[in-house]
Amino acid sequence: MTNPLSGWHLQPRLLHPVAWWVWAIGAAMAVSRTRNPLGLTLIGAAVLFVADRRHRSGPGGRAIAVFVRLGLVVMAIRMALTIVLGARLSGRVLFAVPSPGLPGWLDGLQVGGPVTLEMLLASLYEGLRLALLLICFGAVNALASPYRLVRALPPVLHEAGVAVTVGVTLAPQLVVSATRVRAARRLRGRPGGLRGVRGTVMPVLEGALERAVQTAASMDARGYGRTEVVPPAQRRTATLAMLIGLAALVVGTYGLLDGSAPAPLALVGAAVGAVSLSVGLVVAGRRTRRSTHRPDRWRAPEWLVSGAGVMAGAVFTLFAHGAEVAPVSVPATWPVLGAASVVAAGLLATAAFTSPPVSAPPVSLPAVSAPPVSLPAVFAPPVPAGTGPGAPAPRVGGHR
């Protein structure tokens, strides 16, 4: 019996896409549970480190840069809305925004007013959390191919996979289309920057959506999602198990992300829902018979990567409390970095070492210098008459 842990680093391959999605969901769970900027920065650094080490080749692997920029834009918009329309918190006043007079039917809306340091810090924490959620989604798009993810779906979800492909491939295709349109506009001498946005947005959206629809159409033409006849009792059992599992999973996941329910109860609900949903998917999947060319195998690296994401989310959910989760904003104090944040970030960063490399490192061969080879005179090409070292220079001009 071979050891599943031996030699995975010697065979570069793509990790199973479901493992990367489980890892990213664990990171997003940890991010959604806290507003501490130190913990958020540490988790974001771990996610970016793994995405930089194990991103796939091609334009889709560079999607993380787009999501980082999008996260920065979200943070800027969040702070701008807070300055103009946010609730006024007491504290150190930095500056004031003019407050125009509003009609009586807008008494509940406050525009402008004094802007305090506490307001800006609270807005920065919330914007950082939203930005990191986007970065987690961008990282999993750079790490896992959406095509391989759809191929790894359970058989019962193949009908929905055609529709899901359109949504899943839209974000990577936006990056590809934007790169191609910018290059074409630059070759034609069209203006860039903000002046070129109007001529770039529509071609990018049209091209990305067209490629996603073409992918779904090709899957449908190849018989993706064909079903077989099954007994009614089996179909009803599978449907009931999936409904119960989906309801328990939604309630448990909401409790984990929101923090309103006790963490152990939310974990038990999510686990029961996942098990029931898995049973329902397996039973309902017997309707579909299909063959997969070179299916993705679930091996030891997949267990380690997905386990790291699950453990990171569980550690942060069970052991992060107090100022580590919700730093004090009024009055403004320096945030505290707790042990749960460090452990969760460390667990997420291990995926860069436990997952196999995407491509093999280049092999550099030593340069071999061969001595010059001199051919004998018999093998030398004949020299035309009138040419050579002693021939007179050709006459220039005087041609009639």
Shared domain check, 88 and 127? yes
Shared domain check, 113 and 27? yes
Shared domain check, 138 and 48? yes
**228 secondary structure, DSSP code:** -
Angle at which helix 158-168 crosses helix 170-187, to 10 degrees, equals 30
pLDDT value of residue 201: 77
Shared domain check, 141 and 51? yes
Strand residue runs (E) in the chain: 93-97, 113-116
Which strand (E) or helix (H) includes residue 252?
helix 232-258
Residue 57 lies in a domain: yes
Shared domain check, 329 and 266? no
Q: Is the pTM of this model over 0.75?
A: no
Shared domain check, 95 and 58? yes
Shared domain check, 17 and 122? yes
Shared domain check, 60 and 164? no
Which strand (E) or helix (H) includes residue 296?
none
Shared domain check, 279 and 175? no
pLDDT value of residue 213: 78
Q: Which of 207, 227, 247 corresponds to the end of one domain?
A: 227
Residue 375 lies in a domain: no
Give whole-number Cα distances, 360 to 9, 15, 144, 357, 384, in Å: 9, 14, 18, 7, 53
Successive 10-residue mean pLDDT values, the chain, 400 residues: 44 84 90 87 93 80 83 90 80 80 69 82 89 90 80 68 63 73 79 67 76 73 64 76 81 70 74 81 66 74 91 84 74 81 91 82 51 50 54 50
pLDDT value of residue 375: 47
Secondary structure percentages of the chain, helix, strand, coil, to 5:
60, 0, 35
Q: Which two tokens stand for residue 213?
A: 């629809």
Q: Which two tokens stand for residue 39?
A: 């913990």
Residue 393 lies in a domain: no
State how far the Cα of 176 lies from the Cα of 282, in Å rounded to an integer.
36
Residue 383 lies in a domain: no
pLDDT value of residue 277: 78
Residue 167 lies in a domain: yes
Domain ranges, residue 277: 228-287
Give whole-number Cα distances, 236 to 122, 202, 241, 247, 283, in Å: 49, 46, 9, 17, 10
State how far the Cα of 25 lies from the Cα of 312, in Å rounded to an integer.
10
N- to C-terminal Cα distance for the chain?
90
Residue 388 lies in a domain: no
- Count of domains for the chain: 3
Tell how far CA 278 is from the center of its chain: 25
Q: Which of 345, 301, 341 is CA-nearest to residue 324?
A: 341
pLDDT value of residue 42: 92
pLDDT value of residue 386: 53
pLDDT value of residue 169: 62
Shared domain check, 171 and 74? no
Q: Which of 287, 306, 338 corresponds to the end of one domain?
A: 287
Shared domain check, 85 and 141? yes
Shared domain check, 93 and 137? yes
